[in-house]
Structure formats: C-alpha cells, structure tokens
Structure 1
Amino acid sequence: MWAQIINAILGIWLIVAPAVLGADKAAADNDHIIGPIIVSFAVISWWEATRVVRLYNLPLGAWLLLAPWILGYNETTVIISDMMVGALVIGFSFVKGKTETRYGGGWSAIWKSDSLHEREAKKQSNNL
C-alpha cells in the first residue's frame, strides 16, 4: 500500500505542478487530466481486493514519459518533472503489496473443479 500512497502523492503533484513550474497550456492540460486519474487508480488499489487496479497506472506513466515529446513542451523543468513522475509511477505500480486474504478466484473459479469458494462452502457445511 505504501507504493500506491506515493503514486497518489505523485498524482497530486501533477495537479499542482503546472502552477508551481509555470507550464505552458499543453503541459498544464495534460497534467490536469493525468494527475487525477493516477490519484484515483492509486487510491482504489489501496484495498487488497482491488489491488490489480494499480496496473492501470502503467500506461499513464508511459504516457508521461512520451507526452513532452508528442505535445511539444517548452519548459525543461516541466519535461523533467513529467518524465520523473512517469518513471516513478511505473516503478511503484509494479509493487504488489502483501496479500493477507485470498478471495474466490474471480471468473476463472467458475471453471475450476476445486476452487476456493467450494472449499470454504464445504468447511462451513461441515461445521454446521
């Protein structure tokens, strides 16, 4: 979870960076769009059941690495900021975190013969 907290902070930085660094319109618009999305995905992935959402930040981080060249940023500090944030978001998105509880196995559990939810149901029926 610590890595996703850092990703949320990086997303908040993207929201305020254009004002702090004096970014041009293209860079500011890009950061104002990508920042809240990174924050949202990071916060959603704080919980164990939704931890996979952290991977949704990977393409956003890659976009931040490419955006200065595609959108033609004018300020070097803004280019460095976006590229650093992009690299950090990618890196922290790969941190999975500790798994304490197993869940039913998702859709693939429907086709498995001895899935976790079947074992749990058998345990509960034996305890009754």
Structure 2
Amino acid sequence: MFATVQYLWQSRRVGHSFWRTLIFGGPVLSERRDPVQGLNMPIGQIVWEFLKGGVTYPWTLIGCTLIGGYLLCTRLLFGVELPLYFSDHTAGCVVIVIAVTAWAEVARTVRLLNVPLGLWVAASPFLLDGGTAIASVSDLAAGLALAGLSLPRGTRSREHYGGWDQYIL
C-alpha cells in the first residue's frame, strides 16, 4: 500500500494523471531496469528472485516464528486450559504474523511489536488461570526469549529501497 501511494505521488509530480495512473498503471519512474525482466526470465530465476528479493531470514526472527508455533501448541504439549490457552494461541498467531512480516527489510521495525507481546506471554501464566507449573515456566521462558529475540535488527541484504532505507531499523 505504501509503495502504491509513493508511486502515485511520484507519478503526479512528473505530470502524469493521478486517476489514469491509479486505474491503468504507468511507466517505471527513474529506475534502471534489468533487460531480462518479468516472465522472460527462466523459471528458476523468477523463483529465486521471489524468495530473496527484499527479504532476509535473520535467525532471531526465525526463532520468534518458532516461539509463535510453540505458543500454538501449549494445549497439546502441557494441557493448558482456558483462559491461558486462548491467550497463548492468540499470542502465537500474532507473533508469527509479526515475525514473518519483519522478514521484509522495509518492515523490519515491525519486529519491535513482539517485545511487549513477549512480556505479556511471560506474565500471562501468573495472571490467568489454566496453566500447569511446567507450562508457566515454559511460557515465562518463551516470552522472555521472544522479547529478547525481537530486539536485534538482523543482517541486511545489499539491496536498497530508495527513500525507505532510512526507516530500516
């Protein structure tokens, strides 16, 4: 959505019609293009560009994703009951969405939303009913690990994103 708004704004600045560009698209604005583009590339190159383009997989965010998966399974692993089960399950879903979104370098800042979520996961067994002793210790460890793993930015690729580079934290 941000890229669309940015493109429409740039297109308008160079004199193109806002509505025509919104409805029909427009030319690439001031960007060097690879002569082998789009579907003219071999399928292997298309898949490779799709998997690596603008996305890196820092081990910290992979860890956050795995913690989110763990939170989805606390009922199966430890017999966690309501309301702690709902809390763990909801937090697990949100953790995975945030971590996977943060794999995109321009959205890397989103990972910081997992810090308060991790602190909630760490505190929730002591505030909500339904947990066993081992589930409480496990949630405490998972929550603190989630908060800690969400702080580092991770490695960046050599790609650049124009004006968005300054927002990659």
* The two structures share one fold, judged by TM-score above 0.5: yes
**Residue 76 in 1 paired to residue 133 in 2?**
yes
Are the aligned partners of 1:18 and 1:27 in contact in 2 as well (CA < 8 Å)? no
**Letter paired with 2:67:** L
How far apart in 1 are the matches of 2:79 and 2:130?
Answer: 11
Aligned length: 108
TM-score normalised according to structure 1 size? 0.76
Gaps of 5+ in 2: 1-57
Please say which structure displays the higher CA radius of gyration.
Answer: 2
Map 1:1-128; keep pairs closer than 5 Å: 1-99=58-156, 100-103=158-161, 104-105=163-164
Structure with the larger helix share? 1
Tell me how far 1:107 sits from its aligned partner. 9.5
**Letter paired with 1:6:** G
Gaps of 5+ in 1: 109-128
Are the aligned partners of 1:11 and 1:34 in contact in 2 as well (CA < 8 Å)? yes
**Letter paired with 2:59:** W
Indicate the RMSD between aligned Cα atoms, in angstroms.
Answer: 1.9
**Letter paired with 1:58:** V
How far apart in 1 are the matches of 2:97 and 2:152?
Answer: 17
How far apart in 2 are the matches of 1:11 and 1:36?
Answer: 6
> Which digits, 9 at most, give the CA deviation of each residue in 1:79-107, with x for residues without a partner?
01111110110110012112334541589
Indicate the SS of the match to 2:73. helix
Are the aligned partners of 1:62 and 1:86 in contact in 2 as well (CA < 8 Å)? yes
How far apart in 2 are the matches of 1:3 and 1:95?
Answer: 7
Are the aligned partners of 1:18 and 1:78 in contact in 2 as well (CA < 8 Å)? no
Task: Give the fraction of aligned pairs with identical amino acids, expressed as a percent.
Answer: 29
How far apart in 2 are the matches of 1:86 and 1:96?
Answer: 18
Structure with bigger RCO (C-alpha 8 Å, 6+ apart): 1
TM-score normalised according to structure 2 size? 0.59
How far apart in 1 are the matches of 2:128 and 2:138?
Answer: 15
Indicate the SS of the match to 1:25. coil
